[in-house]
Amino acid sequence: MKRAILLVDHGSRRAEANALLEEVADQIRIRAVGSIVETAHLEIAEPGIGEGIEACVAKGATRIIVHPFFLGPGRHTSEDIPAQVERAAQRHPNVQIRISEPLGSHAALIDVILDRVSDADR
């Protein structure tokens, strides 16, 4: 199975905010060798989730992991993203699509927060 990772953030009217997701995707491409890595936005910016899934399929993905680039569980991660993924998945019944948990309180994220606090405390 050819795996794809689709990173999904909220989307913004600010280009630099949307560009951050591309920067994250570039870093994931370096570390997830052999995986297709695409980005999408829930709303406001393009591409949307449906287009992100289409891009993954066009590149040969047979398994897509949608990762909500959100801090915690909320309406977007529990309702909006799953609804859009389900609509897109209906067009690709032979592609396995799963949604990962948002970032949450993962230990690595705590390390990042403490690093940022230390940087600001200098």
Average predicted confidence (pLDDT) for the chain:
96
Q: Which residue has the higher pLDDT, 122 or 98?
A: 98
Distance in angstroms (rounded) separating the CA atoms of residues 99 and 39: 14
pLDDT tens digit string along 32-79?
999 999 999 999 999 999 999 999 999 999 999 999 999 999 999 999
Residue range(s) defining the domain that contains residue 39: 3-120
- Res 37: pLDDT: 98
pLDDT of residue 113: 93
User: What is the rounded radius of gyration, in angstroms, for the C-alpha atoms of the chain?
Assistant: 15
**Does pLDDT of 120 surpass 90?**
yes
Is the confidence at residue 29, as pLDDT, over 90? yes
Report the number of distinct structural domains present in the chain.
1
pTM: 0.93
Q: What percent of the chain has pLDDT over 90?
A: 97
Distance CA 41, CA 48 (A): 5
99: enclosing H helix or E strand: strand 96-99
pLDDT of 122 over the 90 cut? no
Q: Cα angle at 69 between 66 and 71, to 5 degrees?
A: 130
CATH number for the domain harbouring residue 36? 3.40.50.1400
